[in-house]
């Protein structure tokens, strides 16, 4: 097999005390090429810094909330509009700003952006690049980003909200690896402890069961998450259970498919972020998701309600 040189991202060499630290301020792009471009086309969002006045449209954004499904993010923005007491004329709905592209949806209400990211790291990575560039072109400052998702839990009652203390890959490594110019670059995925604790306290106030713990992020829903019910499977029930128990013993609370990229990209941009996923199944008890649509909806709303409360607190609307 070819041996690729393996590099770690420079931030890996940072002194211990500045690791995992974020700074408030403008959203900066660590890419010198962007400044030299006449126009920056955010292709998958159907926006550009030439054809749109991104400053006018987005300068006040402080909270960017992501989730896999377009409908979830549409419902979330409608919910936020109510929570933030935005008056939307009768019969009107908030418009998908990225309607010119049917890859992702992007909604805005006041300082909140609601964005869908699709499934898996490649899909999230594309929209994350473009959202960071949008925030930069718009001159946004002191932004926080949240992933409001679903996951498979380990020894947790379904409906539990897991707040990711760290994201790891399927080999328990806290890096997102990207093959770049024929090399593997490893981008560390730190998450903010203080922000997590604040969100945990809010979850408690709202009466939701929640835990702070490690999240395993995989590249696949079936074999990658030790499921026996995919179209292929080369392992047995015993192998599966031994893997799930082993990762549970190593502190993994849930498994999903985006946290590693989310945490790594937000940290690389030094934007504070948190990942909150409700569990929709206990993976120590099964593979198939059998909860009713209504129950799944209610569970999915839990991370949204926690973030809504957090945003209202940040805006001084509630204590
Ligand atoms: O945020 P969502 O619920 O879309 O994320 C999880 C991880 C995968 O994208 C998907 C698999 O069902 O659900
Ligand atoms: O088991 C699950 C449930 C939701 N999302 C996942 O990635 N896995």
pLDDT of residue 90: 81
DSSP 3-state of 266? helix
pLDDT of residue 136: 98
The closest ligand to the CA of 124 turns out to be 1
Determine the average pLDDT of the residues in 261-273. 96
pLDDT for 123 beyond 80: yes
Q: From atom 2 of ligand 2, which residue's Cα is the shortest distance away?
A: 152
Distance from the CA of 148 to the center of ligand 1, in angstroms? 10
Distance from the CA of 225 to the center of ligand 1, in angstroms? 12
Q: From atom 12 of ligand 1, which residue's Cα is the shortest distance away?
A: 221
pLDDT of residue 255: 99
Q: pLDDT (tens digit, 9 = 90+) per residue, 166-208? A: 999 999 999 999 999 988 999 999 999 999 999 999 999 999 9
Probe ligand 2: pick from 121, 256, 282, max atoms within 8 Å of CB? 256
pLDDT for 85 beyond 60: yes
pLDDT band per the 50, 70, 90 thresholds, residue 4:
low
pLDDT of residue 223: 98
State which ligand 2 atom lies nearest to the alpha carbon of 218: 7
Give residue limits of the domains in the chain. 6-314
List the beta strands (DSSP E) in 169-251: 175-180, 183-188, 210-217
pLDDT of residue 114: 98
Per the document, the length of the chain is 319
Main-chain phi, psi angles of 9, to 5 degrees: -65, 145
Q: pLDDT (tens digit, 9 = 90+) per residue, 13-65? A: 666 666 667 878 999 999 999 999 999 999 999 999 999 999 999 999 999 99
Burial 269-302 (b: 16+ CB within 10 A, else e): bebbbbbbbbbbbebeeebeeeeeeeebeebbbb
Distance from the CA of 150 to the center of ligand 2, in angstroms? 6
Look up tokens 């490649």; give the residue: 122
Write 24-28 long-range contacts (CB < 8 A, 24+): 24/141, 24/142, 24/272, 25/141, 25/142, 26/136, 26/139, 26/140, 26/141, 27/132, 27/135, 27/136, 27/140, 27/141, 27/143, 27/269, 27/271, 28/136, 28/269, 28/270
pLDDT for 1 beyond 50: no
pLDDT of residue 22: 83
Instruction: Say which CATH topology domain 6-314 has.
Output: Rossmann fold (3.40.50)
- Is 270 known as a binding-site position? no
């Amino acid at each position: 097999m070819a041996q690729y040189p393996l590099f770690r991202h420079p931030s890996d060499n940072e002194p211990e005390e500045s690791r995992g630290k974020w700074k408030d301020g403008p959203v900066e792009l660590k890419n010198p090429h962007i400044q030299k471009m006449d126009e920056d086309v955010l292709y998958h969002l159907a926006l550009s810094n030439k054809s749109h006045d991104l400053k006018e449209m987005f300068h006040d954004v402080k909270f960017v909330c992501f989730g896999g499904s377009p409908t979830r993010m549409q419902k979330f923005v409608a919910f936020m509009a109510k929570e933030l007491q935005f008056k939307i004329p009768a019969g009107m709905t908030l418009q998908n700003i990225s309607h010119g592209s049917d890859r992702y949806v992007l909604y805005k209400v006041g300082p909140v952006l609601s964005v869908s990211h699709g499934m898996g790291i490649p899909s999230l990575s594309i929209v994350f690049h473009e959202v960071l560039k949008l925030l930069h072109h718009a001159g946004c400052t002191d932004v926080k980003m949240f992933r409001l998702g679903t996951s498979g839990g380990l020894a947790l009652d379904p409906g539990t909200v897991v707040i990711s203390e760290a994201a790891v890959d399927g080999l328990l490594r806290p890096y997102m690896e990207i093959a770049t110019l024929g090399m593997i670059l490893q981008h560390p995925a730190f998450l903010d402890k203080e922000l997590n604790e604040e969100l945990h306290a809010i979850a408690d106030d709202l009466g939701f069961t929640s835990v702070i713990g490690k999240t395993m992020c995989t590249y696949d829903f079936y074999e990658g998450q030790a499921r026996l019910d995919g179209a292929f499977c080369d392992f047995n029930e015993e192998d599966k259970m031994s893997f799930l128990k082993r990762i549970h013993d190593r502190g993994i609370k849930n498994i999903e498919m985006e946290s590693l990229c989310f945490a790594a990209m937000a940290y690389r941009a030094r934007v504070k972020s948190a990942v909150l996923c409700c569990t929709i199944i206990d993976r120590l008890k099964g593979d198939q998701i059998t909860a009713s649509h209504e129950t799944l909806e209610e569970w999915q709303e839990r991370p949204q309600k926690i973030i809504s409360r957090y945003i209202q607190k940040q805006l001084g609307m509630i204590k």
